[in-house]
Structure 1
């Protein structure tokens, strides 16, 4: 019986991708790149396909829920297409006589993309669209549970490609049920790596020897201060926390509530479906089983999660999420970390300064560099928080899940991958977007000399420090 060498299989896939990319670039145009991106986008946005991908995703991964997957597939893709619609990714980008530099857009080559099971449709689609927009080929390596959805997504993309005569080899998948060995080889031989998912994959990407764009872990904390619109804050936290059953890395994991309005905010949480549990040990004993998050609770609908936590008879029937009072932070206090479930830890702060302290400690424990939220009417406190917390994003008065990854009501690029800067061990501190999938060639011409006198540079320094 003949067996396929997994390494050779990956190398053959990348070779085909490289040949297709070379032709795509050689014969390229802005129109060709745009059409390929539009084909991939419509493959996931077409309503019947979108629904099937959402249903298949939930069925095969057991994570999230179908209506929210449909919304995510649609809005994330539509927002991305808005962002890139007028972006120039082909030809001469600039020609500056003053510097003598002409800048020309160039693709990266073959992108290797590692994508998670939490978003097995939307995340690869996002990466594929960005790659094609910039003239690249892309090879996707999904998590084992995400393979069926990725395979169907690619079949839809191929159907659109065939309408336009676009080479299918521009978008490929590592076949099989997922393999660390295959993924590792992809990381080694691609021209650029994009990784969203486990921190193990992120570390492997950064040590592969290939340029990598990888993102850190989320563990979002949101502060609710004494000036906030409590009803609006509760509504936004509920909408964000429960969306797609908290599969997003931008889902709130902790609320840090100032003492003056604590009781009033708990009332608003209850009104919007957040049931407060005072005994955190009761939650910890059920949410973690043998040191791991309980799979019966992770990314499940409210009723299933509540049953898994043994709370069916203890919370109202309309409970949408569990809010659990706690105070500990660190490795010995698992509620202070990411929970991937409809469970929100609630910390009581003496005042705003104390809330900043608690939030900083939460971020330093887990999720540094990702993002934090703030519900406030103060104009100054967002800046105070931005200077105090090791984070790349301060989301103000918005539902965090929808805002951090780009929204039609803010200016962040639409993305499912949020860079976390040096705080999170990442090379970028922005949302992963189309510009990361492109590089440039510079033509450099000689210009008249522009050499300053030494005193023009150091005159003010000498006047203060002396020569």
Structure 2
């Protein structure tokens, strides 16, 4: 590893990674790539290591809680390993004689990955595993609060690499104290920039001159319609909203409930530990959640008891309250409740009917979170598809706990990931969950085949018959 300092030292770090990657690829095989991913995955999933990583993450970042970080580190990594188990990322992928094309898997080279403090072990591990699966080296740039956790994770991975004789230079990080200049230099020198976290970093990656994959901001809005299983919807929303103290970009930030079931939903939500704050008291919540216009760091991703105290709700909400839903009807920059809150607080909108709920949701998305995802609790089979056709979103999550489902779950078909592409709506180059295919490129060998040139009549016959020549 290079030491912190000049641009030349960042250059040297990348050079060592490039050398290691060349050796990894030259001596590569599917078995070797797979073994490297298993080493990296076991480094975070081994229970003792997972425990200390989770404890360190909460202690150094102040975000989330230990039990849920342990669950996240385990399940996200296990799901990823399931997803990539049979993926072919080395050698000949296909050989199509009819087209005369042989397709060969190739690594991208050195991946430069910027990772957030919200998931300082799970997100780096996900990126590392995907990179190694495809024959790449990777250099991480953690957020300042995530440095200690990232260092520990790399230490565990390198210990596993020692067991299998793998080059430890394949997985490195910018050493502390990293700077924005260090990160920018990494983005410029890498073969692919992968950025999860602040939208400022995403924009810097896209403007770095390096091919980049950035992901968008979350501000998940979930509709509960009049056909929904109300008790199930409330239970799923509560489980998702409280998981890891709402650190996930996929946590519900706004609940839009149709008037016909609004009161029943509030009762069901209360049974799950969700306390409703009436709109008449919303100004007090806003003042404490955004003092001087900025999210209160003493509230972000904190346990429920801390949140309740800091918001001045002690004694005002029932014992056992797990999260807060604040009634509001405002949307936009003058109404901060309509944006991302990174806490156990959700905005609560009462819609006249389903069409009004859709309109509210679209307004929220257009203000913040376009492209990421929305949720719908319903028994109507047509409504989710209609949302997918007309809403500015890449994912419509149906009857599921949103933060578990969006990034892949064992009971849905999405790839396991902690980074969600948001398409053009979110200013991203991908609309999928970041996964292994984004870490590989292909070389095609093209041979001549018998010509397949169509006649003009084959192409234009139908058009000519309708429009004339």
* Residue 280 (structure 1) shift: 1.3
Partner of 1:360: 362
8 Å Cα contact 2:4/2:177 also seen in 1: no
Tell me the number of residue pairs that the alignment of Structure 1 and Structure 2 aligns.
465
Q: How does 1:443-462 map to 2 (within 5 A)?
A: 443-462=445-464
- Which segment is superposed worse, 308-317 or 415-424? 308-317
8 Å Cα contact 1:356/1:388 also seen in 2: no
8 Å Cα contact 1:373/1:397 also seen in 2: yes
Q: Show CA shifts across 1:330-389 (max 9, x none).
A: 000000000000001000111111100000000000000000000000011101111221
Partner of 1:385: 387
- Please list every run of 5 or more consecutive structure 1 residues that lacks an aligned counterpart in the other structure: none
Q: Detail structure 1 runs of 4+ shifted over 4 Å in the superposition.
A: none
Q: How does 1:109-128 map to 2 (within 5 A)?
A: 109-128=109-128
Partner of 1:415: 417
Matched, 1:95 2:102: no
Q: Show CA shifts across 1:98-153 (max 9, x none).
A: 00000000000000000000000000000000000000000000000000000000
CA distance in 2, matches of 1:71, 1:463: 63
* Residue 182 (structure 1) shift: 0.2
Partner of 2:17: 17
Q: Show CA shifts across 1:216-255 (max 9, x none).
A: 0000000000000000000000000000000000000000
Q: Show CA shifts across 1:23-75 (max 9, x none).
A: 00011000000000000000000000000000000000000000000000000
CA distance in 2, matches of 1:28, 1:4: 31
Q: How does 1:240-259 map to 2 (within 5 A)?
A: 240-259=240-259
Q: 1:432 aligns with which of 431, 434, 446?
A: 434
Partner of 1:376: 378
8 Å Cα contact 1:221/1:256 also seen in 2: yes
Matched, 1:142 2:142: yes
CA distance in 2, matches of 1:265, 1:117: 34
* Residue 262 (structure 1) shift: 0.4
Q: Secondary structure at the match of 2:364?
A: helix
CA distance in 2, matches of 1:262, 1:293: 29
CA RMSD, 1 decimal: 0.7
- Please list every run of 5 or more consecutive structure 2 residues that lacks an aligned counterpart in the other structure: none
Q: 1:321 aligns with which of 320, 323, 334?
A: 323
The alignment's TM-score, normalised by the length of structure 2, stands at 0.99
CA distance in 2, matches of 1:254, 1:441: 45
8 Å Cα contact 2:328/2:349 also seen in 1: yes
The alignment's TM-score, normalised by the length of structure 1, stands at 0.99
Partner of 2:194: 194
Q: Show CA shifts across 1:153-197 (max 9, x none).
A: 000000000001000000000001331010000000000010000
Q: Show CA shifts across 1:306-344 (max 9, x none).
A: 111010110012000001000000000000000000001
Q: Secondary structure at the match of 1:290?
A: helix
Partner of 1:330: 332
* Residue 8 (structure 1) shift: 1.4
CA distance in 2, matches of 1:349, 1:4: 54
Partner of 1:349: 351
Partner of 2:275: 275
